[in-house]
């Protein structure tokens, strides 16, 4: 009898805590996602990466906090860092994304951000483009097949890859433009699985298209 | 009851969490030198609560948790800092000092003295592609390495002459296994090429001295080649050029866990020699047949099994004027068949233990023949003196080498590690000279080795190694200690010192006549300064090398030869200053003398130049998809000697000597990238010695010393044009097209 009470007490305790954690996870994530790209700077992205890392460490079964920590670290690398620091930020991003991928294998969103890590590495050392470029393309092509209805972020990255790849290597500015427009249209039909799932990039795509057509 | 106590406490802790009570946590984070750290993450473990430090290293945040919690402070490149704090409504203040973490990217490098080309490790001096795109190299591994400091420009040989060492003092290893005949066989004074394509390797480590105890039997230098694992995709490729044609297919299994491949090729310099006149008379133009097969299997997430087997066959026939009799010629024929196989397996046995093991087998047949001919290229007849008649010879050599090797790598704390293992080489060498009975040499060579890398801190590391070797043929055991100490005084700059004793068995031609010889020995002392940034590398090295127990030839063969080499070397690479522009400069100063072979006293050997310099420039023009590569090599003149035997005193003496003109070589190559139909194509054009300057590698003397003939390259310039095509068989483009 005593045992049953104890067990009941435990379940009650756990139930209360899980109810308490549930909305808290969503709230914290939502708050951090909203402020993520508001003021793009090295410091703010570091801050965001730290916040998501904290959530990730507390919620070890959720891939989204790791994903966003990875995304924030990549964006930090692209915020005007010097090459040495940029490499370190990309390493960190890669490790977050690997943790996300371990929880959520074959996810096209993770692949999209991972391709940005590779792009960053090519920026650090241009002489590696010949070996890394095809790796990024292969990753994104696989991501395309993982989400056949069209993930705008995968299309956007693939398009940028096409744009900056020399034609003999399979690059094409024309195809890139078509694909980028396709990516923009995809936002009309793309429905993220929840409000916490990735849904960024529309504003960026619009600015890129303006520049390419400009 | 007691078994549930922790759970009840847990439940209580969670319930208490519901009664919101706010505690502020604040503090400041600095590094070991008390400098504030910005961007550091502060968190209460297993909660969302935490914050990031500002530019003064300060932080403050609030939490509604209460009770005892772990506060964790973390930052990239630093060890996590943790402390238990109690949250009960009153402000908690912590002072944090973070210590740097030992990690491969920031820690001192023990092997700073070697040149590494790898895509996997980020900070390396070279990338694998550099080997292919160096202007003077024409995709030959050893030629590309000849642009690095410590190497000599020895145009009459394909071998690597490192820091006053002979060509045979550099050994090549593929996945840890020695390569017995890395170069195609050739006639004297005619350079050949390496047998293995640089595209087979994902990583190259070129150590110009002071290398690890894991390797042996190389007095001067070790070239460690690591073969590629699974390819990225299935691919068919072809190379077409006026001098060769080859085809290759690599198949990657659908599950990406295994691959197999095969290639075949044929090279014939006939057409080229018709267009570009060669100095010697090639009555049999150089011809090469080659074929190889490979498979690779990923046996687990950490295991990899690889097999590679290559068969090559080459033939050359070359005719030169006889040195002693202007009315005669020497016709030299080379026939070479070579089989090389290598099977390696590596896996992680536990969290700390890694295994690397392999076996290799190589079998090489050389048939060398020289005939004295008259001016009509018929066998010389008539009453010829014996020293001319003796120039007619047949030499056939069959050499088998089987090697087995196992290395364990045990990870200690941090970056510290212990490596140990053993290897066994069985060699059988059978030589037949003219009609004489063949001489067979049979050796079981075994070695055991152990090496420890101890990181005393992130900045100071010590490597000590020991290698024990025994050869049954020599009936001798040798112990070779090695040690390196490296100290990092800023994040980018470090100094290191290396010491080691290196042994190598005497060359076969000596062992055939005298087996009671010790191993040759070289002692290395090296000091290295290195400053390496993401896009620039500076390296300065000073070395001293002592040679002992070298072969002395005379009336008998003994091991009383000795010598030394010392020098200073510089390497500077810069990818930063100009966009799309990459260059490196090297300079080597070498002072070396040795008393070996028939030298009457210590002399600077004829393969050693005092000053050697290199400039390698690469520039990619993205708009025209073309890379231009330029390479200028310079070396001061090399000494040459006429060493003759005095019958009266029964001693060798230097009858004549001199120095060659300096060596100049400006090479240029263009790689143009294009797509032809569905293939990706690289069109390569290269030309050596652009300025057409005269190159003299040394002189040969007639027996009486009256006639002196320069050793020259077969032609002043080498021109190459070829096209490399590859067809990927993945569906990369389809994925894009389907979405348009």
Q: Give the span between the Cα atoms of B192 and B121, in whole angstroms.
A: 32
What gap in Å lies between CA B196 and CA B375, rounded to an integer? 39
Are A98 and A172 found together in one domain? no
Tokens of A136: 């990024």
Task: Please answer yes or no on whether A17 and B14 come within 8 Å at the CB atom.
Answer: yes
- B127 and A127: CB-CB below 8 Å? yes
H or E segment and range at residue B240:
strand B235-240
Note whether B235 contacts A: Cβ–Cβ < 8 A.
no
Residue B379 DSSP one-character state:
B
Is there a contact between A50 and B50 if contact means CB atoms under 8 Å apart? yes
Question: Which is it for strands B626-635 and B353-373: parallel, antiparallel or unpaired?
Answer: unpaired
A38 or B454, higher pLDDT: B454
Neighbours of B93 (CB within 10 A): 12
Residues A1 and A91 in one domain: yes
The Cα of B740 is separated from the nearest Cα of chain A by a number of Å equal to 6
More confident residue, B103 or A18: B103
Nearest alpha-carbon partner for B182 in B221, B230, B235, B127: B221
A130/B contact by beta carbon, under 8 A: yes
- pLDDT at residue A129 greater than cutoff 80: no
- Domain match, A209 and A182 both: yes
Chain B CB contacts of A127 below 8 Å: 127, 129, 575, 582, 618, 620
B282, B317 contact by CB (below 8 A) = yes
Q: Given CB atoms, is A176 within the 8 Å cutoff of chain B?
A: no
Do A134 and A69 lie in one domain? The reply is no
Residue A141's pLDDT is 84
Neighbours of B606 (CB within 10 A): 19
Return the closest-CA partner of residue B453 out of B461, B443, B442, B441.
B461
**DSSP secondary structure, B123-160, as one string:** S-SB-HHHHHH-TTTTT-HHHHHTTSTTB---TT-SS-
Residues A100 and A137 in one domain: no
Task: Please say whether the beta carbons of B79 and B47 come within 8 A.
Answer: no
Instruction: Report the range out of A17-26, A167-176, B434-443 with the highest average pLDDT.
Output: B434-443
Interface of A with B in 62-91 (CB under 8 A): 83-84, 87-89, 91
What residue of A is the nearest CA neighbor of B728? Answer: A134
**Nearest Cα residue to B537 out of B124, B10, B114:** B124
pLDDT at A126 (0 to 100): 73
Nearest Cβ partner of A20 from B18, B681, B732? B18
Residue with tokens 């002196």: B708
| C-alpha distance from residue B654 to each of B155, B556, B592, B600, B661 (Å) | 24, 19, 18, 7, 20
Chain A residue with CA closest to B620: the answer is A127
Q: A22 Cβ partners below 8 Å, 6+ apart?
A: none
In the prediction, which pLDDT does A123 show?
Answer: 86
User: Could you give the angle at which helices A129-146 and A108-124 cross, rounded to 10 degrees?
Assistant: 170
Token output for B719: 């021109």
Residue A77 vs residues A54, A100, A154: alpha-carbon distances, Å: 20, 19, 19
Same domain? For A96 and A151 the reply is no
Q: Sign of the CA dihedral A136, A141, A143, A149?
A: positive
Query: A141 — contact with chain B (CB < 8 Å)?
Result: yes
Asked, for residue A97, whether it belongs to a domain, the answer is yes
ipTM: 0.80
Does residue A139 belong to the interface with chain B, where contact is any CB pair within 8 Å?
no
Chain A residues in contact with B739 by the CB 8 A cut-off are 144, 150, 155, 179, 182
Model pLDDT, residue B730 = 45
Q: Do B739 and A155 touch (CB under 8 A)?
A: yes
Torsion-angle region of B733 (φ positive above 0: left; ψ -120 to 50: alpha; else: beta): alpha
Higher pLDDT, A124 or B52: B52
Please tell me whether residues A209 and A133 are part of one structural domain: yes
Tell me the pLDDT tens digit for each residue of B324-347. Answer: 998 999 999 999 999 999 999 999
pLDDT value, residue B101: 76
What are the Cα distances from residue A93, in Å, to B47, B209, B644?
22, 38, 69
pLDDT for res B646: 92
Chain A hits for B77, Cβ within 8 Å: 88
Distance from CA of A201 to the nearest CA of B (A): 19
User: Does residue A53 lie within any of the structural domains?
Assistant: yes
CA distances in angstroms from B509 to B156, B258, B501, listed in the order given: 20, 43, 24
Q: A89: which chain B residues are within 8 Å (Cβ-Cβ)?
A: 76
Nearest-CA residue of chain B relative to A43?
B39
Q: Which helix (H) or strand (E) holds B405?
A: strand B393-411
Tell me which H or E stretch contains A75. helix A63-77
The residue out of A51, A76, A105 marking a domain boundary is: A105
Chain A residues within 8 A of B736 when measuring between CB atoms: 141, 144, 158, 162, 175, 179
Chain B residues in contact with A118 by the CB 8 A cut-off are none
> For the whole model, what pTM was predicted?
0.83
Asked, for residue A116, whether it belongs to a domain, the answer is: no
Asked if residue A180 and residue A95 are part of one domain, the reply reads no
B487–chain A nearest CA distance, Å: 21
Residue of A nearest to B46 (CA): A58
Note the pLDDT of residue A68.
Answer: 96
Q: Are B40 and B53 in contact (CB under 8 A)?
A: yes
- What pLDDT is recorded for position B105? 62
Domain residue limits at A3: 1-105
**Among the three residues A40, A74, A105, which one is the final residue of a domain in this structure?**
A105
| B515 min Cα distance to partner chain A (Å) | 51
Exposure pattern of A150-187 as b/e (b: 16+ CB <10 Å)? bbbbbbbbbbbbbbebbebbbbeeebbbbbbbbbbebe
Evaluate whether B143 touches B197 at the Cβ level (below 8 Å): no
Residues B298 and B255: their CA atoms lie apart, in Å, by 10
Q: How far apart are CA B502 and CA A185, in angstroms?
A: 67
**Token duo for residue B736:** 């894009």
Structure-token pair, residue A39:
């003021």
Residues A60 and A137 in one domain: no
Contact B76 A169 (CB under 8 A): no
- Distance in Å, alpha carbon of A67 to nearest chain B alpha carbon: 16
**Residue range B23-46, pLDDT digits in tens:** 999 999 999 889 999 999 999 988
Q: Which of A20, A168, A182 sits opposite B17 (nearest CB)?
A: A20
In DSSP notation, B530-560 reads EEE-SSEEEEEEEEEEEEEEEEEESSSEEEE
Which of A71, A105, A139 marks a domain boundary? Answer: A105
**In this structure, are residues B28 and B42 in contact, taking their beta carbons and an 8 Å threshold?**
no
Interstrand relation of B417-433 and B393-411 (parallel, antiparallel or unpaired): antiparallel
Residue B335's Cα: distance from chain center in Å?
28
List of chain B residues whose C-beta atoms are within 8 Å of the C-beta of residue A43: 38-39, 55
Strands (E), B269-352: 281-298, 304-321, 329-348
Phi, psi of B162 (to 5 degrees): -115, 125
A123 part of contact set with chain B, CB < 8 Å? no
CA distance B115 to B210: 12
Tell if the CB–CB gap between B41 and A54 is shorter than 8 Å. Answer: yes
Contact, B227 vs B221, CB < 8 A? no
Name, in order, each residue with C-beta under 8 angstroms of B84's C-beta and a sequence gap of 6 or more.
B68, B69, B70, B71
Interatomic CA distance for residues B403 and B361, integer angstroms = 6
Distance CA B369, CA B332 (A): 6
Q: Pick the residue from chain A with its C-alpha nearest to B71.
A: A54
Asked if B144 and B134 touch (Cβ cutoff 8 Å), the reply is yes
Residues A88 and A150 both lie in one domain = no
Predicted confidence at residue B420, as pLDDT, reads 97
Q: Report CB contact under 8 Å: A144, B735.
A: yes
- pLDDT score for B586: 96
Is there a single domain that holds both residue A5 and residue A95? yes
On whether residue A2 sits in a domain, the answer given is yes
Give the residue from B2, B10, B11 with the most A CB atoms within 10 Å of its CB, the best one to mutate: B11
Residues of chain B with confidence (pLDDT) below 70: 1-20, 102-106, 119-125, 729-740
Answer yes or no: is A114 within a domain: no
Band the pLDDT of A1: cuts 50, 70, 90.
low
- The three-state DSSP-derived secondary structure of B14-31 is HHHHHCCCCEEEEEEEEE
Helix (H), strand (E) counts: chain B = 7, 38
Residue of A nearest to B43 (CA): A54
- A214 domain-assigned: yes
The 3-state secondary structure of B590-657 reads EEEEEECECCCCCECCCCCCCEEEEEEEEEEEHHHCEEEEEEEEEECCCEEEEEEEECCCCEEEEEEE
Contacts of B1 in chain A (CB under 8 A): 2, 6
Tell me whether B731 touches chain A (CB under 8 Å): yes
> Which residues, at least 6 apart from B88, have a Cβ–Cβ distance to it below 8 Å?
B21, B23, B66, B67
Interstrand relation of B221-227 and B708-711 (parallel, antiparallel or unpaired): unpaired
In this structure, is the dihedral angle defined by the CA atoms of residues B693, B663, B325 and B433, taken in order, positive or negative?
negative
* Residue given tokens 């690398």 in the structure block: A77
Q: Would the CB atoms of A126 and B673 count as touching at under 8 Å?
A: no
Q: How many domains does chain A have?
A: 2
Which of A4, A22, A57 would best serve as a mutation to test chain B binding (most B beta carbons within 10 A)?
A: A57
Task: Determine phi and psi for B555, rounding to 5 degrees.
Answer: -70, -35
CA dist B545 and B218 (Å) reads 13
Across the interface, whether the CB atoms of B534 and A124 are under 8 A apart is answered yes
Closest listed residue to residue B329, CA positions, set B337, B338, B320: B320
String of DSSP letters for B34-97: S-B-SS-EEEETTSS-EEE--TTSEEEEEE---EEEEEEEE-TTB--EEEEEEESSSPEEEEEE
Cβ-Cβ pairs closer than 8 A, A with B, add up to 150
The answer to whether B498 and B481 are in contact (CB under 8 A) is no
Residue of A6, A58, A170 with shortest CB distance to B47? A58
- Which of chain B's residues have a Cβ under 8 Å away from the Cβ of A155? 739
Quote the CA–CA distance of B275 and B616 in Å, as a whole number.
Answer: 29
Q: Does the distance separating the beta carbons of A166 and B622 come in below 8 Å?
A: yes
Q: Of A169, A102, A166, A109, which is closest to residue A142 (Cα–Cα)?
A: A109
Q: Is B160:B146 a contact under the CB 8 Å cutoff?
A: yes
- Verify whether the Cβ–Cβ distance B48 to A55 is below 8 Å: yes
Of B14, B127, B731, the CB nearest to A128: B127
A137 with B50: Cβ contact below 8 A: no
Evaluate whether residue A46 is within a structural domain. Answer: yes
Residue of B nearest to A92 (CA): B76
Looking at the fold, whether A88 and A169 belong to one and the same domain comes out as no
Residue A189 sits at the chain B interface (C-beta within 8 Å): no
- Confirm if B46 and A48 have CB atoms less than 8 A apart: no
Distance CA B437, CA B430 (A): 10
d(C-alpha B566, C-alpha B546), whole Å: 9
pLDDT at A24 over 90: no
- Whether residues A141 and B14 touch (CB distance < 8 A) is answered with no
Closest CA–CA distance from residue A3 to any residue of chain B (Å): 8
Q: How far apart are CA B503 and CA B518, in angstroms?
A: 9
Q: Is the dihedral angle over the CA atoms B617, B618, B623, B625 positive or is it negative?
A: positive
Chain B interface mutation, best of A54, A76, A122, A144, highest count of B Cβ atoms under 10 Å: A54
Domain assignment of residue A115, yes or no: no
């Amino acid at each position: 009898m005593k045992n049953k009470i104890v067990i009941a007490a435990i379940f009650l305790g756990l139930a209360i805590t899980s109810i308490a954690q549930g909305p808290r996870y969503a709230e914290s994530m939502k708050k951090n996602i909203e402020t993520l790209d508001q003021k793009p700077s090295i410091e703010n992205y570091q801050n965001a990466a730290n916040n998501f890392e904290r959530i990730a460490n507390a919620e070890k079964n959720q891939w989204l906090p790791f994903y966003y920590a990875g995304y924030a670290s990549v964006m930090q690398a692209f915020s005007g860092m010097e090459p040495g620091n940029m490499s370190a930020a990309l390493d960190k991003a890669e490790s977050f994304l690997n943790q996300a991928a371990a929880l959520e294998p074959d996810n096209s969103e993770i692949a999209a951000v991972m391709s940005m890590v590779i792009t960053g590495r090519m920026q650090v050392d241009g002489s590696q483009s010949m070996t890394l470029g095809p790796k990024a393309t292969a990753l994104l092509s696989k991501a395309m097949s993982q989400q056949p209805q069209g993930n705008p972020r995968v299309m956007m990255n693939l398009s940028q890859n096409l744009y900056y790849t020399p034609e003999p290597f399979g690059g094409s500015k024309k195809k890139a433009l078509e694909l980028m427009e396709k990516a923009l249209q995809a936002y009309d039909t793309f429905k993220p699985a929840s409000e916490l799932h990735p849904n960024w990039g529309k504003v960026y795509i619009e600015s890129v298209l303006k520049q390419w057509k400009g | 009851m007691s078994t549930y106590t922790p759970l009840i406490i847990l439940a209580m802790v969670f319930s208490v969490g519901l009664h919101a009570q706010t505690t502020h946590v604040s503090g400041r984070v600095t590094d070991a030198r008390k400098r504030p750290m910005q961007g550091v993450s502060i968190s209460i473990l297993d909660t969302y609560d935490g914050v990031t430090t500002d530019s003064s290293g300060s932080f403050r945040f609030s939490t509604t948790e209460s009770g005892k919690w772990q506060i964790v402070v973390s930052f990239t490149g630093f060890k996590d800092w943790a402390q238990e704090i109690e949250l009960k409504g009153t402000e908690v203040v912590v002072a944090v000092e973070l210590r740097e973490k030992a990690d491969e990217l920031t820690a001192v490098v023990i092997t700073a003295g070697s040149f590494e080309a790898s895509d996997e490790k980020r900070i390396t001096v070279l990338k694998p592609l550099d080997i292919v795109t160096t202007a003077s190299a024409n995709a030959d591994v050893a030629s590309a390495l000849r642009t690095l400091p410590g190497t000599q420009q020895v145009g009459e040989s394909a071998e690597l002459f490192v820091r006053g060492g002979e060509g045979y003092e550099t050994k090549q290893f593929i996945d840890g296994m020695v390569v017995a005949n890395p170069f195609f066989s050739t006639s004297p004074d005619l350079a050949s090429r390496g047998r293995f394509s640089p595209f087979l390797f994902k990583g190259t480590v070129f150590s110009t001295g002071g290398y690890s105890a894991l390797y042996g039997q190389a007095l001067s230098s070790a070239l460690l080649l690591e073969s590629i694992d699974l390819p990225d995709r299935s691919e068919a490729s072809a190379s077409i050029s006026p001098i060769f044609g080859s085809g290759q297919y690599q198949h990657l299994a659908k599950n990406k866990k295994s691959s197999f491949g095969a290639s075949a090729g044929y090279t014939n310099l006939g057409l080229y020699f018709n267009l570009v006149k060669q100095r010697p008379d090639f009555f049999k133009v150089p011809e090469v047949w080659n074929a190889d097969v490979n498979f690779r299997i990923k046996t687990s997430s950490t295991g990899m099994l690889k097999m590679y087997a290559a068969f090559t066959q080459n033939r050359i026939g070359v005719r030169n004027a006889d040195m002693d009799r202007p009315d005669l010629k020497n016709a030299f024929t080379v026939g070479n068949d070579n089989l090389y196989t290598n099977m390696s397996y590596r896996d992680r046995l536990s969290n700390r233990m890694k295994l690397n093991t392999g076996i290799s087998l190589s079998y090489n047949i050389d048939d060398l023949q020289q005939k004295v001919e008259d001016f009509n290229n018929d066998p010389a007849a008539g009453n010829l003196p014996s020293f001319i008649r003796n120039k007619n010879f047949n030499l056939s050599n069959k050499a088998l080498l089987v090697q087995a090797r196992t290395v364990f790598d045990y990870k200690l704390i941090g970056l510290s590690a212990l490596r140990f293992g053993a290897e066994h080489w069985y060699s059988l060498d059978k030589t037949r000279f003219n009609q004489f009975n063949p001489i067979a040499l049979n050796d079981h060579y075994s070695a055991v080795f152990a090496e420890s890398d101890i990181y005393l801190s992130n900045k100071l590391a010590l490597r000590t190694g020991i290698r024990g070797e025994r050869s049954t043929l020599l009936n001798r055991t040798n112990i070779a200690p090695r040690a390196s100490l490296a100290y990092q005084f800023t994040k980018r700059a470090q100094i290191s010192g290396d010491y080691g004793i290196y042994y190598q068995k005497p060359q076969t031609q000596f062992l055939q006549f005298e087996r009671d010889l010790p191993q040759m020995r070289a002692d290395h002392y090296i000091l290295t300064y290195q400053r390496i940034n993401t896009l620039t590398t500076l390296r300065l090295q000073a070395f001293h090398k002592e040679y002992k127990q070298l072969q002395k030839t005379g009336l008998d063969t003994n091991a009383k030869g000795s010598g030394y080499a010392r020098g200073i070397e510089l390497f500077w690479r810069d990818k930063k200053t100009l966009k799309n522009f990459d260059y490196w400069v090297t300079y080597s100063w070498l002072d070396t003398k040795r008393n070996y072979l028939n030298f009457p006293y210590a002399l600077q050997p004829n393969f050693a130049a005092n000053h050697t310099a290199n400039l390698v420039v690469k520039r990619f023009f993205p708009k025209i998809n073309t890379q231009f590569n330029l390479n200028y090599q310079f070396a001061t003149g090399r000494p040459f000697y006429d060493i003759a035997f005095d019958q009266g005193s029964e001693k060798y003496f230097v009858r004549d000597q001199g120095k060659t003109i300096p060596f100049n070589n400006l090479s240029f190559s263009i790689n143009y990238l294009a797509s032809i139909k569905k293939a990706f194509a690289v069109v390569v054009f290269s030309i050596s010695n652009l300025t057409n300057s005269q190159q003299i590698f040394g002189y040969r003397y007639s027996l009486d010393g009256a006639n002196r003939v320069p050793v020259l390259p077969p032609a002043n310039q080498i021109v190459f044009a070829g096209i490399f095509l590859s067809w990927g068989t993945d569906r990369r483009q389809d994925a894009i097209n389907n979405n348009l």
